[in-house]
Amino acid sequence: MSNTIATDSLFSADERDALKILVGMIIPASAVHNVPGADDELIFADILDSAKANEAQIRKCVEHAVSSGLGDGLPLEQVLPELEGHPVMAPLVSLVMQCYYRDDRVMVSLEVEPRAPFPKGFEVPQGDWSMLDAVQKRGKIWRDV
Amino acid sequence: MSVSSDIDFSPADVLIIGAGASGATAAWNLAETKMRIVCLEQGGWTNPSNYPTTGRDWESRAQSDFSINPNRRQQPGDYPVNDDDSPIKIANFNGVGGGTVLYAGHYPRFHPSDFKVKSLDGVADDWPIDYGDLEPFYAENDRITGVSGLAGDPAYPAKQSLMPPLPMGKSGQKLAEGFNQLGWHWWPSDSAIATQPYNGRDQCINLGACIYGCAQGAKASTDITYWPEAVRAGVELRTWCRVKEINVGDDGLASGVTYFDEDGVEQFQPAHVVIMACNGVGTPRILLNSVSEQFPDGLANSSGLVGKNLMLHPYASIQGVFEEPLDGYRGPHDSIWSQEFYETGEERDFIRGFTYETTRGRGLVATALTGVHSGRIPWGAGHHDAYRKLHNRIAGMVAICEDLPEEHNSVTLDPSIKDAHGIPAPKMTYSISDNSQKMLDFAVARATETLRAAGATDVIIESPLASGGWHLMGTARMGKDPQKSVVNEWGRSHDVKNLFIVDGSIFVTSAGVNPTRTIQTLALYITDQIKKRLTHLFD
Ligand SMILES: Cc1cc2nc3c(=O)[nH]c(=O)nc-3n(C[C@H](O)[C@H](O)[C@H](O)COP(=O)(O)OP(=O)(O)OC[C@H]3O[C@@H](n4cnc5c(N)ncnc54)[C@H](O)[C@@H]3O)c2cc1C
Ligand code: SF4
């Protein structure tokens, strides 16, 4: 019997389990910063959903992780160096960062308002234009022709 | 009912191919002649309410449907570009507004010296026109576009500013401190971004994602500047029409163009004058694909220079990490620039020079990816502390290096890759010259000094910036000698007297600044020449 769950999930139950361990390994929860890990239910659901646009590459990452010992009961510290920085993992790393850093709780912990930039926009200070005096004092620097 | 049943296929007086920066400008300037002007554009209109910054997932969309790279974006208006043989990858936008939909709005002029590189430095060629010829057209383009900045920049001849400069912000001020400590030039950037309401456009609200489309309408992309006025004045803009080739008659003149309409049906639009505005990659592609008995090597190509001399402006990105929080992604990309090393310096081991343009910080996702890919943010328990050392603490600059023309850097037709309509894709073959490499290395070293002087504790370098193939120039160069150039000094093909080119392909040299203000100024200049010579245009 196929172990594919009858939902619109792209991944088999085993693949999802491995993926969940993997993303939690990339960004674990932190009590100090009061933030969830990337394996948090909401964030993981976003990761699964967003993986649809890039299914083949994400599956490759999971396969690579499993072939490196993930899920074999090896301690994560032993598996991590095999995977971190490996070029095959780049699409998954990108996906995890995209989903993690748009989570409300994560944004709030970074003191960023959890909202789209538009339409409210942001304030940016003018800066001190008197700093240009020094530049003006030097005079013309363009070349005559 | 097919789309084509409503279309008027009688001959157009002027047919423009491409509705980007230069196509829009040309259409606007010719509209007052009341000639019948038709523009064919392979993409559609974009709807600002669909731009990424209207959603929480804006940084994800910047990597998918609003990617700056068409090979990744793969939207219906896009065509593939084979850039495997180039360390700098293609960046463009295909739709009404062209590259200006995504551009950052950095809007420098060329310097007078940029038109005279052969006379001044003994390299490449002088342009057949000079700064003085273009000055009135720069001013006119500035007025339609709406340029912000500060008059009095000592790196330039006098020019007016129409709106106050963009805010420096904390990051701009930090970098200004660095430049001042070293006694180097800096000045608020000229920007095609409204800092006040301008011609019906609203002012910038610092969304900070200008290169994924400005939802506020503050950035002067030509879909909201020139195009509305040109369409009101009677120009017909036909979207989703991809030109395959320019046809020629027995008289050796262009007779019109063959294109695929929205339904994918091949059509022929006759025209008395054809103007190409498809950019430095799209224009040579169509010219090379326009092969006939009279023009077996492609149209307008008796010099053999169509597609040759591709210039891309190698960029270096040099970013500092600071201890105190700065602006993060808030604020437009443009801020201040430095042209301390713009003109040739005899003491340096390279000729010509570059501009530094400072950059503000990055979005939350981009910060994470920068950190992870550069080894500054680890996986696992250390992730959060390391992330917080970069969050809102990155600011720096890019160096835009003048690229000199070299024939082996080229756009050709790819022998196997084709677009959705079966038209051969362009292939870029490009390598960084010795001169450019020395310039990049120098730029990285001096920027690092600036960042350290400003207090940066760490410096993140990417040189060349692989994603930065956004300035596409030189592939149908301008000149007086038909053996050494493709178009003459007013943009007309030497070989085909009713064919003009107005986009970045006609650049003789690239200067060390972003090109679009000069591209649009040239489009005004050339179409002004067309208007003045209407009675004897084909002599
Ligand atoms: C991310 C990004 C940032 C940039 N930032 C800056 C900046 O800050 N400052 C600056 O000066 N420049 C910048 N640029 C570059 C700027 O966008 C270009 O210099 C400018 O748009 C080029 O103008 P153009 O008229 O030559 O071509 P484009 O604006 O590229 O227009 C060409 C048009 O032709 C159409 N076309 C092509 N082939 C066909 C065909 N076969 N049939 C029909 N239509 C066709 C295309 O769809 C396109 O709309 C940036 C570009 C990008 C992508
Ligand atoms: S920063 Fe300003 S110009 Fe850039 S996208 Fe936002 S509103 Fe537009």
Confidence (pLDDT) at A5: 41
Using a CB-CB cut-off of 8 Å, the residues of chain B touching A86 are none
Using a CB-CB cut-off of 8 Å, the residues of chain B touching A85 are 375
User: What average pLDDT does range A43-47 have in this prediction?
Assistant: 97
Size of interface A-B (CB pairs under 8 A): 174
Cα B416–Cα B421–Cα B424 angle in degrees, nearest 5: 30
Structure tokens at A66: 């499993």
Q: Tell me, what's the ipTM? A: 0.93
User: pLDDT by residue (tens digit) across A70-90?
Assistant: 877 778 888 888 899 999 999
- Interface contact flag, B157 A142, Cβ < 8 Å: yes
Pairing of strands B410-418, B424-429: antiparallel
User: pLDDT by residue (tens digit) across B351-372?
Assistant: 999 999 999 999 999 999 999 9
Whether B379 is in a domain gets the answer no
Q: Is pLDDT at A1 greater than 90 in this prediction?
A: no
User: What average pLDDT does range B324-339 have in this prediction?
Assistant: 94
Average pLDDT over chain B reads 97
Confidence (pLDDT) at A8: 58
Please report, as a single letter, which amino acid is at residue B492: R
User: What average pLDDT does range A91-102 have in this prediction?
Assistant: 97
Tokens 């991944």 found at: A11
User: pLDDT by residue (tens digit) across B238-261?
Assistant: 999 999 999 999 999 999 999 999
How many distinct structural domains can be found in chain B?
A: 1
Q: Is pLDDT at B165 greater than 90 in this prediction?
A: yes
User: What average pLDDT does range B491-496 have in this prediction?
Assistant: 98
How is B357-413 classified by DSSP, letter by letter? EEE----HHHHHHHHHHTTSS-SSTTHHHHHHHHTT-EEEEEEEEPPPP-TTSEEEE
Query: DSSP state, A29?
Result: -
How many whole angstroms from B368 Cα to the centroid of ligand 1?
Answer: 29
Confidence (pLDDT) at A76: 80
- Residue B303, domain extent: 10-361+393-534
What CATH number is given to the structural domain containing B75?
Answer: 3.50.50.60
Whether B267 is in a domain gets the answer yes
Count CA atoms closer than 13 A to B489's CA, side-chain side.
10
- Looking at chain A, which residue has its C-alpha nearest residue B61? A98
User: What average pLDDT does range B448-454 have in this prediction?
Assistant: 98
Percent of chain B with pLDDT over 70: 99
Confidence (pLDDT) at A71: 77
Out of A6-15, B2-11, B77-86, B167-176, least confident range: A6-15
User: pLDDT by residue (tens digit) across B455-474?
Assistant: 999 999 999 999 999 999 99
Ligand 1 atom 3 nearest Cα: B103
pTM, two decimal places: 0.97
How many whole angstroms from B206 Cα to the centroid of ligand 2?
Answer: 5
- Interface contact flag, A145 B170, Cβ < 8 Å: no
Q: Does B176 touch chain A (CB under 8 A)?
A: yes
Residue B387: how many other CB atoms lie within 10 Å? 25
How far apart, in whole angstroms, are the C-alpha atoms of residue B184 and residue B178?
9
Find the residues whose C-beta lies inside 6 A of ligand 2. B 193, 204-210, 214, 216, 218-219, 332
Pairing of strands B336-338, B254-260: unpaired
How far apart, in whole angstroms, are the C-alpha atoms of residue B110 and residue A104?
45
Among candidates B34, B16, B9, B8, which has minimal Cα distance to B234?
A: B34
Structure tokens at B395: 């600011």
Whether B382 is in a domain gets the answer no
User: pLDDT by residue (tens digit) across B440-449?
Assistant: 999 999 999 9
- Interface contact flag, B154 A141, Cβ < 8 Å: yes
Tell which of B153, B343, B360, B364 to mutate to test the A interface (max A CBs under 10 Å): B364
Q: Is pLDDT at B159 greater than 80 in this prediction?
A: yes
User: pLDDT by residue (tens digit) across B200-250?
Assistant: 999 999 988 889 999 999 999 999 999 999 999 999 999 999 999 999 999
Tell which of B372, B374, B393 to mutate to test the A interface (max A CBs under 10 Å): B372
Question: In chain A, count of helices (H) and strands (E)?
Answer: 7, 0
Average pLDDT over chain A reads 91
Element (H, E) at B272: strand B266-276
Confidence (pLDDT) at A2: 39
Ligand nearest to the CA of B220: 2
Confidence (pLDDT) at B93: 98
Whether B442 is in a domain gets the answer yes
Q: How far apart are the CA of A34 and the nearest CA of chain B, in angstroms?
A: 10
Confidence (pLDDT) at A75: 80
Whether B474 is in a domain gets the answer yes
Using a CB-CB cut-off of 8 Å, the residues of chain B touching A120 are 205
Whether B102 is in a domain gets the answer yes
* C-alpha distances out from residue B346 to A142, B89, B111, B325, B440, Å: 15, 32, 18, 39, 17
Whether B249 is in a domain gets the answer yes
Confidence (pLDDT) at A72: 79
